[in-house]
Amino acid sequence: MTKKRSEPVPAEPLRNQVAVVTGAARGIGEAIANRLADMGATVVLTARDQARLAQVKSAIEQRSRKARVLPCDLTDPRAVAALGEKVAKEHGRCDILVNNAGVGVLRKPLIDLPVEEWDQMMHTNLRAPYLMMQSLAPLMIAARSGHIINISSLAGKNILPEGAAYSASKWGLNGLTYSVAEELRQYNVRVSVIAPGSVNTHFGGPRGTKDPSRMIQPDDVAQVVAMLVTQAPTSFVSEILLRPTMKP
């Protein structure tokens, strides 16, 4: 049997594509934004911290890559709708949406959790991805192409004592992802979820006795995103569970 020749991988596989990344001011979101920009995409950076977004944008542009800052309160439906309108007006397309922004109140029993902190996690971790997909998926549907990636957590697959609300928000995000993936398949739009374990960022506060060098690094998550958005068009990975090689 003749061996099929592998096609050469383009130096910039995402050239001319537009990628929107939430929570892009730091941590996982910053790493993902950098990776997608280096792959040739024009990256739209969004979060509330405009100063940090400007720094991320500057670092990307220093490498002769393209980035655009659109600060947004993702818990505000009007702000998210306006963001979608700006992307449509300025770029006319959205090829990749990474819903990464998240908050977590951990090490607090549910019975001691104020309703304001419950709402903050649900609005940021679950409601915001819904709003972002509602705002930007129509551009993908019109193009009959696109990839949405939701950053969840292993806490959305496992029990998390003293983190029940955070866990619930991520279980909800998983269910949202699986269901929307079925809704959008008919339009050739792929929807995936990545569920990492503990990542070496400042998310959730101090890590206690965990060894940061053994934890998942933000670039590890970015590498998975890069793999998903360059996958062959005939299939998609619906879920990835990402664990550290060695327990920290």
Region 130-147: mean pLDDT is 98
Q: What percent of the chain has pLDDT over 70?
A: 93
pLDDT at residue 146 is higher than 80: yes
Lookup: tokens for 26: 């730091």
Which residues belong to the active site? 166
Identify which of 10, 15, 34 has the alpha carbon closest to the alpha carbon of residue 225: 34
Q: What pTM, to 2 d.p., does this model score?
A: 0.93
In this prediction, residue 236 carries a pLDDT of: 92
pLDDT of the residue at 29? 98
Helix (H) or strand (E) holding 36: helix 27-38
- Which tokens hold the place of 161? 């004592």
- Give the C-alpha distances (Å, rounded to integers) separating 14 from 10, 43, 61, 90, 137: 9, 10, 16, 18, 18
Q: Which pLDDT score, from 0 to 100, does residue 8 have?
A: 57
Dihedral angle of Cα 23, 29, 32, 38, to the nearest 10 degrees? 70
pLDDT higher than threshold 60 for residue 54? yes
Q: Assign 204 a pLDDT band (cuts: 50, 70, 90).
A: low
Cβ burial, residue 170 (10 Å; 0-12/13-18/19+): buried
pLDDT grade for 9, boundaries at 50, 70 and 90: low
